[in-house]
Each structure stands twice: as structure tokens, then as C-alpha cells.
């Protein structure tokens, strides 16, 4: 029932969004009371108490509670406790845990709107049961004073109930009429108002037909649909806002001998800015002093730190890891690449809300049709009988019969059943129409690093390394915390190699590790720094002993769980698979060869990724984008539908329609299959609902529709679409 | 049929009581984690400090 919801348009200007968001983030940091973790692996009572005990033992945690139904834990903690620490602690003892996107929390316990809807639904069910019970007496032949009494009691229950329960529809219908359009809520509101109005009038005149039961039943079924729809809808958060929050508001400007803190927006090209280790770079610029390693995952998606020395260009949003540097500003504020990326994402997000769902398409056909039929029937009967009371009764009957109970349930019931099924398989759906869009997909675009790979590099050819070098490499690797060094250490220790005795071990930030072994100088690190040999194309580190030639130790990315099967499965289904990476061409191509992917786009900057996705869309392809990094965000937002793994960055998760909850990427196949099934079910449901309407409308127009027939038709069609949807589980 | 005069208010009252009970349970969050609650009751950890 997406036709009813107001799409949340993200503002086109990320900077305007950034201010409140930055304040919100700052507020969060101070009062960091509630953290949410996703726990896809838990399944039993022992898991619950295990996780809760472990979390409560962490320093700074006040209380923790596991929700097994939703597979998540909420943690009450002091400021300063981060989800990363808690996830790491849980992973250590074998519980898979991820930080949960707060945008996904709308559908959980804290949600006031969901509770209000449920309360309205409960009141509607209560009133419907009572009114139906009273109506049974009328249907079975009560007449005279008894019938009037039943009608009056029904009115006393139904009128307040309808007034209270129907508020969501009245509000939305009013808003639509004010804007000069028709949505499904307009005929609903009209039907309820007309049914209650004519029934009250009839009751006053001791008439035979009263539709109080129909009016309240209508509310009940529609509220059920609305509630299901609400549950599958997560709070739409704008990825552009998330990106804007990454902009660093303050910078340290060099003034004479000292520094002063200024707003990043006040910086001008040519200013010198100091960036300390652990800080984010506030501007685009060039390093003029200092050596360090940068986390450039924002722009390139590359998870390995890259070295920066004087002369290197740096971008806003990149994190400085090891040493202090001085940067000469070339662009600040709105001119940085990060800000441009934010604009790009905002444009893509605004474009996406143009999607017309099946429910919207049905509503567009349906709403005017109903009004035309009802007005025509009323006019016809008025011309024929010259009796306004009869004409109004007929109009009310037509509106009640055609009221979209089944239409309102058709989509949300299917989406709910499908989300429940996918949730069990490890996938969270954030958008109600995501499944419909996923069913249309014919091209799948994957990001490489972090999506198809695990991010952890795997050293190659360690067995070819001679014993002597291997022991030196291990000793040197132990002296560094660099991911490549740690991968080497893990690989060599696993092969039972003992480290050599290397003295004067020293790490040179951004270059590598050096030491002294049996009186010779040994170095492990970048090719230029180690010297004595040309570099190879792929990810590698180099070992040089004394003045010998440098040996390259190459690395390959480890495949994520299920990546190979996923790609093969998709190709078997005849989908076009594209690998789209910001990494260097040789690395991407060798990786694509491993997976058997032919379409490869490498060295793509963030905007190039989005353009590539849009180019595919222009060729007529419906693109599913699977990505995890900041650099994928624009592409994720631009794609027809998008999925990100649980390990993805917050902005990427905000931009995508579905989030994988587990480590494996294989559920994507299930998602596509379920999406096709659910689209088929939705269409079946529309057919069922239309058949009921087509059968009952002639009766209503002919004036043969008693309240009993109306009640039967309405319940039967609603029940059949719900049962049909349940087949999906 | 005079009995209707008693039965109808009584049935409404009972139904209303059910509605009030539902409202209370909703407020107390008893529908937040049905699966977890079903498991929790089997553990001894929570016997003294139900939560």
C-alpha cells in the first residue's frame, strides 16, 4: 500500500541537512545511551543469556537485552562505549554481531506510530466483532423495534469507533484533495462517511438496511493492511545526510608559528592546515609536510591504508592514520570532492522516489473508476425513482462493495510474508517496494572490496619462499600492525615457521619495517623504499636482504562467503554480472577471472561508479547494485534496487534497499527468487480482488446488495488475498 | 427478548475489558519479543530477576 505513504524526499542540498544532523550526531556522542546490535546467529535460550552476560560484563555497559524475535540486542551504555567494541567482544566468543543501522529501528518496540496503528486496529476489531454480532440478529430476520434497537446500539458502537480508527485515512485523503489529486484514501473516506451517514439516517427512519458493520469492517481490514505495510517500512534516512555528516566542521589552520581552530568552510585555497593522526582531513589539498598513511576507503573503496608523502593529493573525509601532516588547501567546503559526492547522492535519491509501484498503478486506475461508477449508479437511480434516499443508499452500497479492502491488503500481506521469509535467510528489507523492483532486475553490479571480498588480504606463494627469507619476513611482519604484515604473520605462523632474530626493528610510517639480521640490513615494505627491483602490478609488499634483489610477496583478496556460488548462480540464471571497482586494473581483472566475470570496470571514482550504473540503466537494464563503501553510495542510490552487506558503512546502508545481516552474500539469490515469487503473488492478489469486485458491483448497482452480501464479499476477498500471501512463507 | 437488555451491556463490558487488557499488554511491551520470551522462561538465570 505504498500508494498511501508520503515519500520522504531528501532535501537536494546536503549542506542544509548537515547542520541539524551534525548537531544530532554531536548530541548522540554526549548522551550515547542506546546502542543496537544485529545478532544474526542467535537461536536459543543459551545464546540469549550468553550474549546478555557478555555484554553486561563489558566496561561501561549498564544493561543489555536481547530480542530473539528480531535477532538484535539493545545495549544501555555510558558515553564512550562504541558498537565496534561490543561487536568485537561478541565476535571473539563466536557470536556474529554487527552494528545496526538506526534507520532500521523504526519498526521495533520504540515506534510510537506503529503502536498507535495497532491500538486503532485493536479498537476496530473489538467494535467490528460487536457490531457483527448485533447484525447477525438483523440478518436472521429481526424486525420492528428489535431491529431498530440493534441498529441504534450498532450506531453507538460504530460511530465513535469509526471516528477514532479511520483517522489515518481521513488525514491522508484530506491532504490528497488539498493537493488536487485522488489517492486510495479518498474513496475509502467517502465510503465510510456515506455508509455511516445513510445508515444513521435510515436508522432514524426505522429503515431496513444499515451498513454500520460494513463501515467498521472496512476500517479493520484497511488498518490491518496499513499496519503490515508500516512494519515493513523502515524510517527512510537520507544517505546524502550521512555523507554530509562526514564533513569535518573544524580545522587547524597554521598561523605563523602556531595554529588556530577555524570552521572548515572558512578555509581558502592556499591556507595551510594541520591534520593530526586519527583525524579526518577537512579539505581537498596537497601534502606539504610530513609522512603518514591514509585510510582512503571513502574515495577508492580500498581498505588497505595508502602512504602519503609531501606532494600527494588528499581529499576531504579521508582519515589520517599514523603521522601528523600539513596540507595546503586546494578546495574547501562546497568545492571538495566529498561535497560533490553528497550532491550526486542527493540527486540520485530524489530520482528514485519516482518509481511507480504496483499498488500505485492499481490506485491510479481504481480511485477514479470507483467514483464514476458510484455517481453514475446514484444518478441513474435518482432519474428512475426520483427518490434521493434510494439513490444515496445505492451510492453507499457501491462504494462499500468496491472499497479496496482486498487491494489494501494485497501488497502489504505479500511484502510481510516475503520479509519474514527473507529475514530468516539473513536479509533485512528497508523499503516496501524493494521486492517489486528486485523482481525486475536483469543486471547485477558488484563492488569488489568489502562486498565480494572479505577485506582481509591473503598472501600468495608463501610455500615458494625459502626458509631463510620466510623467517626474516615473519620477524619483520611481527613489527607492524599494517594489514598486509598481519596477513603475512598469520600465514607464516600457520605454516609452522619460527621468526628469525632481527634486531633494531623499526617501523617507518608509510613505507615499511626495517631491521638488522646477522649484520645485514633487512627491509620489508613498499617497492620504492625497499629498492632493488621493479614493482609488480598487484597488491604486494617487498623483501630485500642486504643488497640482494627485492622479492615480491603478492596478495590476493579472500572471497566473501558465498561470492563464487552467487556469481555462478546469477550467470546460470542469465543475468549480466558486472564488476565495478575503484581498485587498480590488474587487481580487479585477476579477481574477475577468479570469479568468471567478463564485464569489468576498474579504477572507477565514486562519480564514475554512479555514471556506470546510470549508463546501464539508459541501455534499458534494471540494475541491482551490491556495494558497501562510501564510494559506492552514489551508485547504490542511483541503481534500480540496491543491497549492502552488514559490514557496509552507514551511508551505504542508508542508501540501499536491503541489508544482509550475516557474513555470507549468498542470500542475494534467495532475495531475487522471493522477489519474483512475491511479484507474482501481488498480481494474483489484484486479480482476486478485482474478480470479487466485478461480481459484486453489478449487484450493488442493481440495488440487490443487502448489508449481508456486502459483509460476505468484503470478508471473503480480504481473507483470500491474505491466505494467498501466506503461501509465500 | 428482555434478556437482551442485560446481555448486550454485559457482552460490551466483557469485550471492553479484553480491549483494555490488550492496551495494557501493548504498553508493557509484551508483544516485542514473543520468541525470546518463550525461551527465557526455560532458563534459570531469570528466575530471581525476571526481565
At A693 the pLDDT is 83
Partner-chain contact B23 A129, CB within 8 Å? no
A304 contacts A539 by C-beta, under 8 angstroms: yes
Could you tell me the CA-to-CA distances from A434 to A2, A331, A332 in Å, in that order? Answer: 11, 38, 37
A280 contacts A209 by C-beta, under 8 angstroms: no
Sheet harboring A453-459: ordered strands across? A453-459, A551-559, A540-545, A520-525, A512-517, A503-508
At A30 the pLDDT is 40
User: What phi, psi does A388 have (nearest 5°)?
Assistant: -65, -35
A172 grid coordinates? 491522508
CB of B5 less than 8 A from some CB of A: no
Task: Answer with the one of A335, A360, A377 that is the final residue of a domain.
Answer: A335
Using a CB-CB cut-off of 8 Å, the residues of chain B touching A119 are 23, 26
**Where residue A651 sits, what CATH number does that domain have?**
3.40.50.1000
Using a CB-CB cut-off of 8 Å, the residues of chain B touching A123 are 19
User: Does position A11 have pLDDT exceeding 70, yes or no?
Assistant: no
**Who's near A454: CB < 8 A, 6+ residues apart?**
A557, A558, A559, A560, A561
Asked if residue A584 is part of any domain, the answer here is: yes
- A129 vs A118: CA distance, rounded Å: 16
Q: Output the CA torsion sign for A84, A86, A91, A97.
A: negative
Could you tell me the CA-to-CA distances from A135 to A150, A311, A379, A543, A706 in Å, in that order? Answer: 7, 84, 29, 88, 12
Higher-confidence residue: A130 or A240? A130
Asked if residue A123 is part of any domain, the answer here is: no
**Domain residue spans in chain B?**
4-40
First to last CA, chain B: 50
Q: Identify the burial level of A443 via C-beta atoms within 10 angstroms of its C-beta, where 0-12 means exposed, 13-18 middle and 19 or more buried.
A: buried
At A14 the pLDDT is 41
Task: Answer with the one of A335, A364, A399 that is the final residue of a domain.
Answer: A335
Partner-chain contact B18 A126, CB within 8 Å? yes
Partner-chain contact B19 A109, CB within 8 Å? no
> For A253-259, what is the mean pLDDT?
80
Q: pLDDT band at A445, cuts 50/70/90?
A: very high
Using a CB-CB cut-off of 8 Å, the residues of chain A touching B8 are 134, 153
At A310 the pLDDT is 84
User: What phi, psi does A504 have (nearest 5°)?
Assistant: 50, 45
> For A600-610, what is the mean pLDDT?
82
Asked if residue A640 is part of any domain, the answer here is: yes
Q: pLDDT band at A200, cuts 50/70/90?
A: very high
CB of A132 less than 8 A from some CB of B: no
Partner-chain contact B19 A70, CB within 8 Å? no
* Cα–Cα nearest to A131, from A109, A159, A107: A159
User: What does the CA dihedral A416, A422, A427, A429 come to, rounded to 10 degrees?
Assistant: -20
Q: Output the CA torsion sign for A87, A90, A91, A96.
A: negative
Partner-chain contact A69 B18, CB within 8 Å? no
At A692 the pLDDT is 86
**Where residue A308 sits, what CATH number does that domain have?**
2.70.150.10
CB of A54 less than 8 A from some CB of B: no
Q: Output the CA torsion sign for A106, A110, A113, A118.
A: positive
Q: Are residues A323 and A431 in the same domain?
A: no
DSSP A448: I
User: Does position A89 have pLDDT exceeding 70, yes or no?
Assistant: yes
Interface test with A, best of B39, B40, B41, B42 (most A CBs within 10 A): B39
Partner-chain contact A68 B35, CB within 8 Å? yes
- In the residue annotation, A447 being an active-site residue is answered as yes
- A465 vs A443: CA distance, rounded Å: 42
Q: Pick the catalytic residue: A17, A447, A583, A628?
A: A447
Coil, strand or helix at A723? helix
- A303 vs A290: CA distance, rounded Å: 22
**Who's near A39: CB < 8 A, 6+ residues apart?**
A47, A51, A66, A71, A72, A73, A90, A95, A96, A97
Based on its alpha-carbon atoms, the radius of gyration of chain B, rounded to whole angstroms, reads 18
> For A696-719, what is the mean pLDDT?
84
List, in sequence order, every residue forming a beta bridge with A250; answer none if it has no partner. A263
Tell me the CB-side half-sphere exposure of residue A430, using CA atoms within 13 A.
24
Could you tell me the CA-to-CA distances from A546 to A279, A518, A529, A549, A716 in Å, in that order? Answer: 37, 10, 13, 9, 86
Partner-chain contact A68 B4, CB within 8 Å? no
User: Does position A149 have pLDDT exceeding 60, yes or no?
Assistant: yes
Which residue of A49, A115, A126 is in closest CB contact with B15?
A126
Lowest mean pLDDT segment, chosen from A208-212, A665-669, A703-707: A703-707
User: What phi, psi does A375 have (nearest 5°)?
Assistant: -65, -40
Higher-confidence residue: A170 or A368? A170
User: Does position A12 have pLDDT exceeding 70, yes or no?
Assistant: no
Using a CB-CB cut-off of 8 Å, the residues of chain B touching A423 are none
Query: Tens digit of pLDDT for each residue in A368-385?
Result: 888 888 889 999 999 998
> For A520-546, what is the mean pLDDT?
75
* Cα–Cα nearest to A106, from A435, A433, A431: A431
Q: Residue A633 belongs to what domain range? A: 427-454+559-675
At A161 the pLDDT is 94
Give the H or E element holding residue A23.
Answer: helix A14-30
Lowest mean pLDDT segment, chosen from A358-362, A480-484, A529-533: A529-533
A382 grid coordinates? 435518482
Q: pLDDT band at A251, cuts 50/70/90?
A: confident
At A455 the pLDDT is 66
Coil, strand or helix at A197? helix
Tell me the CB-side half-sphere exposure of residue B7, using CA atoms within 13 A.
8
Task: Report DSSP letters for A159-177, one per residue.
Answer: HHHHHHHTHHHHHHHHHHH
Q: How many domains does one find in chain A?
A: 2
Using a CB-CB cut-off of 8 Å, the residues of chain B touching A49 are 43, 45-46
Closest-approach residue (CA) in chain B for A49 = B45
Q: Output the CA torsion sign for A400, A406, A411, A416.
A: positive
Using a CB-CB cut-off of 8 Å, the residues of chain B touching A67 are 32-33, 36
- A448 vs A471: CA distance, rounded Å: 32
In A217-283 the beta strands, taken as DSSP E runs, fall at: 250-255, 258-263, 272-275
Strands A258-263 vs A503-508: parallel, antiparallel or unpaired: unpaired
- A394 vs A381: CA distance, rounded Å: 8
User: Does position A349 have pLDDT exceeding 90, yes or no?
Assistant: no
Q: At what angle do helices B4-27 and A144-165 cross, to 10 degrees?
A: 10
Partner-chain contact A122 B26, CB within 8 Å? yes
> For A23-31, what is the mean pLDDT?
42
Q: At what angle do helices A144-165 and A185-204 cross, to 10 degrees?
A: 150
Q: pLDDT band at B50, cuts 50/70/90?
A: low
Lowest mean pLDDT segment, chosen from A112-126, A569-583, A618-632, A643-657: A643-657
Asked if residue A637 is part of any domain, the answer here is: yes
Higher-confidence residue: A494 or A23? A494
Lowest mean pLDDT segment, chosen from A226-240, A384-398, A473-487: A226-240
At A234 the pLDDT is 55
A328 contacts A270 by C-beta, under 8 angstroms: yes
- A44 vs A77: CA distance, rounded Å: 25
Could you tell me the CA-to-CA distances from A340 to A299, A316, A544 in Å, in that order? Answer: 12, 11, 43
- A221 vs A327: CA distance, rounded Å: 63
Query: Tens digit of pLDDT for each residue in A178-194?
Result: 988 777 788 888 888 98
Task: Answer with the one of A629, A656, A675 that is the final residue of a domain.
Answer: A675
Question: How close does chain B come to A69, measured CA to CA in Å?
Answer: 5
> For A280-303, what is the mean pLDDT?
78
First to last CA, chain A: 20
Question: In chain B, what are the helix, strand and coil shares in percent, each to the nearest 5?
Answer: 60, 0, 40
Angle of CA points A438, A440, A444, to nearest 5° = 65
Residue found under cell 540501499: A656
Higher-confidence residue: B38 or A333? B38
Query: Tens digit of pLDDT for each residue in A416-438?
Result: 888 888 888 888 887 778 888 89
b/e string for A568-591 if b means 16 or more Cβ within 10 A?
ebbbeeebbbbbbbbbeeebbbeb
A666 grid coordinates? 549468498
Q: Are residues A448 and A306 in the same domain?
A: no
Asked if residue A294 is part of any domain, the answer here is: yes
- A723 vs A526: CA distance, rounded Å: 63
Based on its alpha-carbon atoms, the radius of gyration of chain A, rounded to whole angstroms, reads 32
Q: Are residues A564 and A668 in the same domain?
A: yes
Coil, strand or helix at B47? coil
At A125 the pLDDT is 92
Mean pLDDT of chain A: 80
Which residue of B15, B33, B51 is in closest CB contact with A69?
B33
- A292 vs A294: CA distance, rounded Å: 7
Q: Identify the burial level of B12 via C-beta atoms within 10 angstroms of its C-beta, where 0-12 means exposed, 13-18 middle and 19 or more buried.
A: middle
Amino acid at each position: 500500500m505504498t500508494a498511501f505513504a508520503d515519500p520522504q524526499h531528501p532535501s537536494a542540498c546536503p549542506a542544509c541537512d548537515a547542520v541539524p544532523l551534525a548537531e544530532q550526531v554531536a548530541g548522540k556522542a554526549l548522551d550515547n545511551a542506546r546502542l543496537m546490535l544485529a545478532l544474526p546467529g542467535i537461536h536459543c535460550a543459551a545464546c540469549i543469556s550468553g550474549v546478555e552476560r557478555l555484554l553486561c560484563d563489558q566496561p561501561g555497559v549498564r544493561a543489555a537485552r536481547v530480542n530473539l524475535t528480531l535477532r538484535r540486542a539493545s545495549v544501555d551504555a555510558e558515553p564512550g562505549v562504541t558498537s565496534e567494541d561490543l561487536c568485537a567482544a561478541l565476535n571473539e566468543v563466536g557470536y556474529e554481531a554487527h552494528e545496526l543501522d538506526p534507520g532500521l529501528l523504526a519498526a521495533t518496540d520504540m515506534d510510537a506510530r506503529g503502536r498507535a496503528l495497532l491500538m486503532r486496529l485493536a479498537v476496530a476489531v473489538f467494535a467490528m466483532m460487536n457490531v457483527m454480532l448485533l447484525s447477525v440478529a438483523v440478518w436472521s430476520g429481526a424486525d420492528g423495534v428489535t431491529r431498530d434497537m440493534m441498529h441504534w446500539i450498532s450506531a453507538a458502537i460504530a460511530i465513535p469507533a469509526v471516528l477514532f480508527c479511520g483517522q489515518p485515512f481521513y488525514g491522508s485523503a484530506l491532504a490528497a484533495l488539498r493537493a488536487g489529486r485522488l489517492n486510495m484514501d479518498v474513496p475509502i473516506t467517502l465510503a465510510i462517511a456515506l455508509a455511516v451517514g445513510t445508515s444513521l439516517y435510515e436508522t432514524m427512519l426505522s429503515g431496513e438496511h444499515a451498513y454500520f458493520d460494513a463501515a467498521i469492517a472496512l476500517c479493520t481490514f484497511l488498518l490491518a493492511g496499513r499496519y503490515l505495510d508500516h512494519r515493513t517500512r523502515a524510517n527512510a534516512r537520507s544517505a546524502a545526510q550521512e555523507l554530509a555528516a562526514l564533513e569535518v566542521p573544524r580545522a587547524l589552520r597554521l598561523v605563523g608559528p602556531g595554529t588556530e581552530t577555524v570552521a572548515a568552510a572558512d578555509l581558502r585555497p592556499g591556507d595551510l592546515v594541520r591534520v593530526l593522526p586519527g583525524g579526518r582531513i577537512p579539505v581537498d589539498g596537497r601534502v606539504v609536510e610530513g609522512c603518514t598513511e591514509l585510510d582512503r576507503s571513502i574515495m577508492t573503496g580500498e581498505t588497505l591504508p595508502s602512504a602519503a608523502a609531501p606532494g600527494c593529493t588528499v581529499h576531504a573525509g579521508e582519515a589520517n592514520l599514523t603521522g601528523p601532516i600539513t596540507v595546503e588547501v586546494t578546495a574547501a567546503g562546497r568545492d571538495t570532492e566529498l561535497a560533490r559526492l553528497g550532491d550526486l547522492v542527493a540527486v540520485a535519491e530524489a530520482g528514485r522516489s519516482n518509481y511507480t509501484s504496483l499498488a500505485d498503478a492499481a490506485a491510479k486506475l481504481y480511485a477514479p473508476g470507483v467514483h464514476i461508477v458510484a455517481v453514475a449508479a446514484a444518478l441513474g437511480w435518482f432519474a428512475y425513482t426520483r427518490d434521493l434516499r434510494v439513490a444515496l443508499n445505492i451510492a453507499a452500497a457501491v462504494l462499500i462493495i468496491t472499497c479496496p479492502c482486498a487491494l489494501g491488503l494485497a501488497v502489504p500481506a505479500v511484502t510481510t510474508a516475503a520479509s519474514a521469509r527473507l529475514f530468516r535467510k539473513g536479509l533485512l528489507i528497508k523499503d516496501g517496494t524493494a521486492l517489486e523492483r528486485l523482481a525486475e532486475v536483469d543486471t547485477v553490479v558488484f563492488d569488489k572490496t568489502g562486498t565480494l571480498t572479505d577485506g582481509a588480504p591473503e598472501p600468495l606463494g608463501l610455500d615458494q619462499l625459502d626458509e631463510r627469507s620466510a623467517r626474516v619476513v615473519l620477524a619483520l611482519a611481527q613489527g607492524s600492525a599494517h594489514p598486509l604484515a598481519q596477513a603475512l604473520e598469520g600465514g607464516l605462523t600457520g605454516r609452522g615457521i619460527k621468526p628469525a632474530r632481527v634486531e633494531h626493528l623499526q617501523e617507518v610510517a608509510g613505507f615499511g619495517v626495517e631491521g638488522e639480521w646477522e649484520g645485514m640490513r633487512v627491509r620489508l615494505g613498499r617497492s620504492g623504499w625497499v629498492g632493488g627491483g621493479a614493482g609488480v602490478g598487484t597488491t604486494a609488499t617487498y623483501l630485500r636482504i642486504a643488497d640482494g634483489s627485492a622479492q615480491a610477496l603478492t596478495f590476493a583478496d579472500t572471497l566473501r562467503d558465498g561470492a563464487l556460488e552467487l556469481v555462478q548462480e546469477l550467470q546460470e540464471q542469465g543475468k549480466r554480472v558486472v564488476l565495478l571497482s575503484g581498485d587498480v586494473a590488474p587487481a580487479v581483472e585477476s579477481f574477475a577471472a577468479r570469479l568468471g566475470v567478463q564485464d569489468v570496470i576498474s579504477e572507477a571514482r565514486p562519480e564514475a561508479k554512479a555514471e556506470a550504473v546510470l549508463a546501464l540503466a539508459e541501455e534499458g537494464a534494471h540494475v541491482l547494485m551490491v556495494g558497501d563503501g562510501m564510494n559506492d553510495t552514489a551508485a547504490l542510490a542511483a541503481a534500480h534496487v540496491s543491497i549492502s552487506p552488514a559490514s557496509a558503512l552507514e551511508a551505504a546502508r542508508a542508501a540501499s534497499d536491503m541489508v544482509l545481516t550475516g557474513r555470507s552474500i549468498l542470500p542475494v539469490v534467495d532475495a531475487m527468487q522471493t522477489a519474483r515469487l512475491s511479484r507474482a503473488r501481488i498480481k494474483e492478489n489484484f486479480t482476486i480482488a478485482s474478480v470479487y469486485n466485478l461480481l459484486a458491483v453489478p449487484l450493488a448497482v442493481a440495488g440487490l446488495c443487502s448489508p449481508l452480501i456486502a459483509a460476505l464479499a468484503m470478508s471473503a476477498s480480504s481473507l483470500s488475498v491474505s491466505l494467498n500471501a501466506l503461501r509465500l512463507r | 427478548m428482555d434478556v437482551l437488555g442485560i446481555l448486550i451491556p454485559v457482552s460490551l463490558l466483557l469485550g471492553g475489558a479484553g480491549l483494555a487488557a490488550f492496551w495494557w499488554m501493548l504498553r508493557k511491551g509484551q508483544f516485542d519479543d514473543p520468541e525470546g520470551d518463550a525461551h527465557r522462561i526455560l532458563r534459570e538465570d531469570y528466575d530471581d530477576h525476571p526481565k
